[in-house]
C-alpha cells in the first residue's frame, strides 16, 4: 500500500470500514423471490448495527461509478447485469436511512468501495488507530491486512464470521498480503471479469509467487537465457502462456491493486454525525382543534333591531351552572394532558387520544428499536390492534410480527388471551415430548375439560418443518421441536376454546406455511 500523506486528527481506537455494495448485493441475491422490497436493506442495517456495537466508529464505504478501471480495461465488470428498478429503489432507501442513522459515508467519483477502504485503512493506521476492521468479503481487501488492519468477512448462513490477518491470508491463499494483487492477476477474478492466465489456478499462482516474490522477478527469469534452470518448475505450455500474456498480466495486476490515494476528507469522516428522525414526511401532525369560547355580546353593546312584527323580549337570566366534581381516578387510570401538546395519556403512558397515539408511533419508529415495522403507520396500526385486545402499546409491538406484510400475533399472545378469557376456567400444558405436546382447558360451566394434542407429523403435513421461505434457514421445528410443539398446540387450543377473543390471530410460523 502506498504511503499516505500525514494528517493531524485524533482517531478513535477502533474503526470499521463497511463495504456497503458488498453487503447489499449479498443480502439482495440471498433473499426469497417474494421478499419485501426493503428486506435486503433491513438486513444490511442489522449488519451495520452489529458492526457499530463492536467498534467506536463506523464509516460506510460506497462505490461511485463510472470506474477508472474501465479506461484500463473496457470489459471490467462487463458481465454484471444492470441493477433492476427494484434494486435501485432499495439501495436509494438504504442510503437515505444510513444517512439518517448517523453513519459517515465515504465515496469518491470513479473509485470503488475497496479503494476507499484501502485509503482509509492506510490513513487510519498512520494516525495510530489500534483496531481497523475492513468489513467485506472481496479478496482485494486481503492485500491491505497487516498490523492493526484486519478483514472481517461477515457470517453467511451457517458459516461463522471470519477474521483475516496476515497469517490467515497466507494460510488460505499461499501468499503474503502484499502479493495478493499479483496473485489475482495470475488467477483472474470472475467477479470483476479479469481473465487471468489460462492454465494457472490458485495453487500455480501461489507456487510462482512463493518462488519469485513478484511478477517482475518471474518475468526477468523467463526472459533470461533459456538454458538456465528456472526457479519455479513450469511446463512449456505455462511458460508460453505467461510470455504471450505478459502485457495482460501487468494490466490485470494494475486492475487488482487497490488505490490508497483516493481523495477523502478523513477529518470530516471521523466526526460524529447527528442521528436524524426517520419519520420525516410521514403521519402529518394531528392538530387538536382550538375551541375558544368567544365572549357573549352584552345587550347594550351593539343594538340589533328585531324583525318586523317581533317584539324584543328581555332575555331570561342564564341558569346558574351546576358543576359536578369528578370522582378521583385510580392512579393507574388517571388521564394526563402533557403541557407541550403531546396528547392525552394514562399515568402509565398509554395513549388516550389520536394525537398521543400518533406521537408515540413516531417516537417508537424513530427509536429504531422496532425495525420489523416499516413506518409509523404500521406501528400506529399495531398499537390500535393491541388496544382492541386490551394490550398496552409496547406489549402489542412486542407481541406482533410481520410476515409477508401481514401482522401476526405471537403464539404466546394467543394463548394468554384465551387464558384470561372469562369463558375459560383454566388452560394449561399437560404433556410435552420431542414428538408431541398436549394442552388442556376447561370452559366455565362445562364438566369435562377439552384437550388438544399436536405432533411433529402434524407439523410436517402442514409444511411447517420446511426451511424458512424468507431466509432459507432451517426451520425452528428442526432446531427447537419441543418449544414449537408447545406454542403451536397451545395456540390451536386457544382458538378452539375462545374463538371470539382470538379471532383472526395466527402466529408467524402458521403464516409462513400457509
Q: Where are the alpha helices (DSSP H) in 191-349?
A: 202-212, 215-222, 236-244, 246-256, 266-269
For residue 361, CA distances in Å to 68, 285, 395 come to 46, 12, 13
Task: Please state, in angstroms and rounded to a whole number, the distance separating the CA atoms of residues 170 and 49.
Answer: 30
Sheet containing 436-443: which strands, arranged edge to edge?
A: 424-432, 436-443, 450-455
Most confident range (mean pLDDT) of 24-38, 191-205, 329-343, 405-419 is: 191-205
Task: Please state, in angstroms and rounded to a whole number, the distance separating the CA atoms of residues 219 and 183.
Answer: 14
Structure confidence at residue 58 (pLDDT):
97
CB-based contacts of 162, cutoff 8 Å, min separation 6: 152, 153, 168
Mean per-residue pLDDT of the chain: 84
Cell reading at 360: 408515540
Domain boundaries, the chain: 14-268, 347-403, 408-514
Which DSSP state fits 316? P
Q: Map residue 111 onto helix, strand or coil.
A: coil
Structure confidence at residue 313 (pLDDT):
45
Are 184 and 194 in contact by the 8 Å Cβ rule? The answer is yes
Cell reading at 158: 451457517
Q: Where is pLDDT greater, at 429 or 7?
A: 429
Which region among 30-39, 125-134, 283-292, 300-309 has the lowest average model confidence (pLDDT)?
283-292
- pLDDT band for position 3 (50/70/90)? very low
pLDDT at 323 exceeding the cut of 90: no
pLDDT at 135 exceeding the cut of 80: yes
- pLDDT band for position 369 (50/70/90)? confident
Are 97 and 278 in contact by the 8 Å Cβ rule? The answer is yes
CA dihedral 40, 42, 47, 52 (to 10 degrees): 150
Structure confidence at residue 5 (pLDDT):
46
Sheet containing 104-106: which strands, arranged edge to edge?
A: 104-106, 57-61, 14-19, 131-135, 149-153, 162-164
Structure confidence at residue 352 (pLDDT):
85
pLDDT at 263 exceeding the cut of 60: yes
For residue 319, CA distances in Å to 229, 316, 322 come to 121, 9, 9
Query: pLDDT per residue over 467-483, tens digit each?
Result: 765 556 677 888 889 99
Q: Where is pLDDT greater, at 249 or 308?
A: 249
The DSSP string of 444-481 is TT-SS-EEEEEEHHHHHHTTTTSPPTTT-PPPHHHH-H
The DSSP string of 390-451 is T--HHHHHHHEEEETTEEEE-HHHHHHHHHT-TTEEEEEEEEE-SSEEEEEEEETT-SS-EE
Classify residue 233 as exposed, middle or buried by CB count within 10 Å of its CB (0-12, 13-18, 19+): exposed
Q: For the residues 413-429, what does the mean pLDDT come to?
A: 93
pLDDT at 297 exceeding the cut of 50: no
- pLDDT band for position 353 (50/70/90)? confident
- pLDDT band for position 169 (50/70/90)? very high
Task: Please state, in angstroms and rounded to a whole number, the distance separating the CA atoms of residues 19 and 39.
Answer: 18
Q: Map residue 105 onto helix, strand or coil.
A: strand
- pLDDT band for position 102 (50/70/90)? very high
CB-based contacts of 53, cutoff 8 Å, min separation 6: none
Helix (H) or strand (E) holding 502: none
Domain 14-268 has CATH 3.90.1150.10: no
Query: pLDDT per residue over 447-506, tens digit each?
Result: 999 999 999 999 999 888 887 655 566 778 888 899 999 999 999 999 999 998 888 887
Q: Percent of the chain scored above 70 by pLDDT?
A: 82
Strands 14-19 and 131-135: parallel
Are 77 and 192 in contact by the 8 Å Cβ rule? The answer is yes
Q: For the residues 74-81, what does the mean pLDDT come to?
A: 91
pTM of the predicted model, to two decimals? Answer: 0.68
Most confident range (mean pLDDT) of 250-259, 267-276, 379-388 is: 250-259
The DSSP string of 319-352 is PPP-PPPPPPPPGGG-EEE-TTS--EEETT--B-
Short-list 277, 324, 307, CA closest to 102: 277
Task: Please state, in angstroms and rounded to a whole number, the distance separating the CA atoms of residues 258 and 33.
Answer: 35
pLDDT at 222 exceeding the cut of 80: yes
Task: Please state, in angstroms and rounded to a whole number, the distance separating the CA atoms of residues 137 and 141.
Answer: 8
pLDDT at 7 exceeding the cut of 60: no
Structure confidence at residue 308 (pLDDT):
54
Cell reading at 340: 407541550
pLDDT at 13 exceeding the cut of 90: yes
Which DSSP state fits 114? H
Q: For the residues 411-426, what does the mean pLDDT come to?
A: 93
Amino acid at each position: 500500500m502506498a504511503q499516505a500523506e500525514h494528517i493531524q486528527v485524533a482517531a478513535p481506537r477502533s474503526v470499521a470500514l463497511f463495504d456497503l455494495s458488498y453487503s447489499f448485493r449479498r443480502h439482495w441475491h440471498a433473499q426469497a423471490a417474494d421478499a419485501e422490497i426493503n428486506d435486503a436493506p433491513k438486513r444490511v442495517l442489522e449488519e451495520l448495527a452489529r458492526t457499530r456495537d463492536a467498534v467506536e466508529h463506523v464509516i460506510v464505504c460506497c462505490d461511485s461509478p463510472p470506474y477508472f478501471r474501465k479506461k484500463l480495461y473496457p470489459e471490467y465488470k462487463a458481465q454484471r447485469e444492470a441493477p433492476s428498478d427494484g434494486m435501485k429503489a432499495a439501495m436509494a432507501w438504504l442510503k437515505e436511512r444510513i444517512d439518517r442513522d448517523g453513519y459517515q459515508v465515504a465515496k469518491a467519483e470513479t473509485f470503488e468501495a475497496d479503494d476507499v477502504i484501502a485509503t482509509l485503512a492506510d490513513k487510519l493506521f498512520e494516525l495510530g488507530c489500534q483496531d481497523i476492521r475492513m468489513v467485506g468479503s472481496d479478496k482485494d481487501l486481503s492485500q491491505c491486512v497487516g498490523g492493526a488492519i484486519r478483514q472481517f468477512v461477515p457470517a453467511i448462513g451457517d458459516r461463522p464470521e471470519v477474521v483475516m490477518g496476515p497469517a490467515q491470508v497466507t494460510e488460505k491463499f499461499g501468499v503474503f498480503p502484499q502479493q495478493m494483487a499479483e496473485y489475482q492477476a495470475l488467477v483472474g477474478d470472475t467477479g470483476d471479469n479479469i481473465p487471468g492466465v489460462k492454465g494457472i489456478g490458485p495453487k500455480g499462482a501461489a507456487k510462482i509467487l512463493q518462488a519469485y516474490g513478484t511478477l517482475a522477478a518471474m518475468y526477468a527469469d523467463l526472459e533470461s537465457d533459456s538454458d538456465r534452470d528456472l526457479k519455479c518448475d513450469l511446463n512449456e505450455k505455462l511458460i508460453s502462456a505467461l510470455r504471450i500474456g505478459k502485457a495482460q498480466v501487468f494490466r490485470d495486476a494494475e486492475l487488482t491493486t487497490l488505490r490508497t490515494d483516493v481523495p477523502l476528507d478523513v477529518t470530516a469522516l471521523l466526526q460524529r454525525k447527528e442521528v436524524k428522525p426517520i419519520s420525516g414526511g410521514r403521519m402529518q401532525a394531528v392538530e387538536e382543534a382550538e375551541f375558544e369560547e368567544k365572549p357573549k355580546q352584552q345587550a347594550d353593546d351593539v343594538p340589533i333591531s328585531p324583525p318586523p312584527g317581533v317584539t324584543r323580549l328581555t332575555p331570561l337570566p342564564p341558569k346558574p351552572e351546576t358543576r359536578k366534581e369528578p370522582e378521583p381516578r385510580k392512579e393507574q387510570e388517571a388521564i394526563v394532558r402533557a403541557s407541550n401538546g403531546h396528547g392525552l395519556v394514562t399515568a402509565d403512558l398509554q395513549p388516550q387520544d389520536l394525537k398521543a397515539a400518533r406521537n408515540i408511533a413516531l417516537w417508537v419508529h424513530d427509536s429504531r428499536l422496532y425495525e420489523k415495522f416499516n413506518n409509523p403507520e404500521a406501528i400506529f396500526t399495531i398499537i390500535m390492534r393491541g388496544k382492541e385486545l386490551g394490550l398496552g402499546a409496547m406489549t402489542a409491538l412486542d407481541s406482533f410480527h410481520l410476515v409477508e406484510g401481514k401482522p401476526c400475533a405471537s403464539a404466546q399472545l394467543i394463548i394468554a388471551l384465551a387464558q384470561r378469557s372469562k369463558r375459560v376456567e383454566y388452560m394449561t400444558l399437560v404433556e410435552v415430548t420431542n414428538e408431541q405436546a398436549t394442552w388442556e382447558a376447561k370452559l366455565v360451566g362445562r364438566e369435562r375439560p377439552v384437550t388438544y394434542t399436536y405432533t411433529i407429523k402434524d407439523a410436517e403435513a402442514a409444511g411447517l418443518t420446511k426451511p424458512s421461505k424468507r431466509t432459507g434457514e432451517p426451520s425452528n421445528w428442526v432446531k427447537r421441536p419441543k418449544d414449537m410443539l408447545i406454542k403451536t398446540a397451545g395456540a390451536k387450543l386457544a382458538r378452539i376454546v375462545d374463538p371470539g377473543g382470538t379471532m383472526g390471530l395466527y402466529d408467524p410460523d402458521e403464516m409462513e406455511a400457509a
